[in-house]
Amino acid sequence: MPNPPVTFPALFTPANAVAFTNADGTAQTVSTDAPLPVAFAGSVGTQAVSAVSLPLPNGAATAANQTTTNTSLAAISGQLPASLGLKTAAASLSVGLASDLANLEPAATAITGTTMPTGGTGLTGWLSAIYRSCSEGATLAGSVTSAAVVVSTSNNLYMGGSFQVTSAGTSCTITYEQSNDGINWVTLPVISAAVANAAPATTSTAAGIYTYVSSAAFVRARVSTYTSGTVSVVLSQKQEVAPSSGVSLAGGSAGIGSVSVTGTATISGSVNLGNGFTDSTTALAASATFTGTGRANSAAQFAFFNATAFADQAGTLFIDQSLDTGTSYQAIASQALAAGSGANLSVRLCGAVGTATLYRVRYVNGAGAQTTFRLSSSFSAS
């Protein structure tokens, strides 16, 4: 066998390579994509890692940083409660809302034209303002020692109330006013609650309670004339009030129709008591007829025409009406009578008021002649 040629080493190109055998027996050069596989046989002990040989990132948990970390953890632990569950305020952690939150709910917007009542702030202030508006009423007090406003407040949600003057000063005049814009004021009628037949007034000079009804947005009491002393007023507002403004009929000579009312409630004039007539007491012969006089409701003060009859013989009672001044009559009501009995008829008045509309009573006797007969009629208001 011939020997292979010997080549001088200088003819070779130096190369560094590491390879391993694949599972199929082929050679695989070690590279970044094909690292050298390493298998450990038996147990592997703990391998020391040196910070010098294996550099760590900044802030890593080394022995030098452990003290600082423990201090921070201890500070956090000191702020936490010792146990979970409900706690008193002193043992609870406080939570503060962000300083730029205008409302508790996201994207909320407050209404315009409404301001917080005096003395209120924050959520508690608004809740108390809502409670005040929903409650039965509100009370406001004030005192002045000059010609100035004593009490003034919003009247929204209220229908009225009362001003109690607890101190009227000396020769001072209080004027009561109302307004919708809080700038232009007009007088507010009030009534003294201590006088049964008091007429409305717009001013007062003495202590007392003065009630009012108003739908204006604002009400106030103002000292319009001041002499000396202290003027004090307490205003009470109510959501529902009884009507208290108007003219008392008992305070003068006001009239209702033909009824006049004076201070002592004396009634004068026509009071619609009624008007009655005895039409006949003469017995009728058998089958005879009695016809009464036609009468008009010319005073226009009655509402009914009535008729009453009694006879010892059977018969029929009628009420007739005429609309042509008595030229013709028509029966508008009737009732049969048994012998020895009575009957009563009543009709509501109709037709034009005056002499053209007449009413009369009429009686038709039965087959037997009477020995006793009574017939009467009347106008009445009810």
Question: DSSP letters along 19-84, please?
Answer: EEE-TTS-EEE--SSSPPP----S--PPPP--TTTSPPPTT---HHHHHHHHHHHHHHHHHS-SS-
Instruction: Give the Cα separation of 22 and 173 in Å (integer).
Output: 118
Provide the percentage of residues in the chain whose pLDDT is more than 90. Answer: 43
Task: Indicate if the pLDDT at residue 80 is higher than 90.
Answer: no
Higher pLDDT, 301 or 59: 301
- H/E stretch holding 126 reads helix 122-134
pLDDT tens readout for residues 148-186: 999 999 888 788 999 999 999 999 999 999 999 999 999
- Work out the mean pLDDT of the chain and round it to a whole number: 81
Instruction: Give the Cα separation of 72 and 252 in Å (integer).
Output: 91
Query: Can you give the pLDDT at residue 219?
Result: 95
Judged on CB neighbours under 10 Å (0-12, 13-18, 19+), 191 is buried
Q: Does pTM top 0.75 for this prediction?
A: no
Judged on CB neighbours under 10 Å (0-12, 13-18, 19+), 176 is buried
CA nearest to 348, candidates 309, 320, 382, 298: 382
| Angstrom distances, CA of residue 132 to CA of 68, 94, 119, 135, 178 | 56, 30, 13, 5, 21
Pairing outcome for strands 373-380 and 259-260: unpaired
Higher pLDDT, 126 or 258: 126
Query: Can you give the pLDDT at residue 255?
Result: 56
Query: Can you give the pLDDT at residue 6?
Result: 58
Question: Would you say 296 and 351 are in contact if contact means Cβ atoms under 8 Å apart?
Answer: no
Domains and CATH numbers, the chain: 133-238 (2.60.120), 275-380 (2.60.120.260)
Higher pLDDT, 381 or 361: 361
* Least confident piece of the model among 39-48, 87-96, 160-169, 221-230: 39-48
